[in-house]
Amino acid sequence: MSAPRRYWIMLALASCTVVSLGMNSISMRDRQRSERTILTTQQSVLRELNIRYRRGERVPENEEARLLRLANIRVNKKEEQKTTVMQAIFGRQPTPADEAKELEKLKQFWEEALREDESQKSTLP
């Protein structure tokens, strides 16, 4: 009598596993599709803004904010401060000098990326 019961229990577990894997697969596919759509939208909006800036066009601030909102890109505001590593580990706010150093590093990184992009464009036919 225990053999048929074991068979049905194994069958139930196998069917639950198959259903769970199928639902997970569907969920992952839908999540990837929505993420791909979001990233494509962000890329096209940022590409358009980049092209306009490189042409030297002046983009009104309200239009820029609208486009960034359309792409669901948040611009850092005072109320949306990010937690730094120093805050997480030591529980203290960064000093203005630390913030200035970080901003300078970011500016250098940005300028280096722009120079690299320009050098790559100049090497293309």
pLDDT per residue as tens digits for the range 52-91? 888 888 888 888 888 888 777 655 445 556 666 656 666 6
| CA-to-CA separations, 112 to 83, 99, 117, in angstroms, rounded | 26, 20, 9
Helix extents (H) in the chain? 2-55, 61-70, 85-90, 96-123
The tens digit of pLDDT for each residue in 7-47 reads 999 999 999 999 888 898 898 998 999 889 888 888 888 88
HSE at residue 15, side-chain half, CA atoms within 13 A, is 6
Query: How far apart are the C-alpha atoms of 60 and 53, rounded to whole Å?
Result: 11
- 10 Å Cβ neighbour count for 64? 14
Q: What is the mean pLDDT of residues 110-115?
A: 86
- 10 Å Cβ neighbour count for 82? 6
Q: What is the pLDDT of residue 17?
A: 92
pTM exceeding 0.85: no
Structure tokens at 119: 């050098």
Give the start-to-end residue ranges of the domains of the chain: 14-82, 95-124
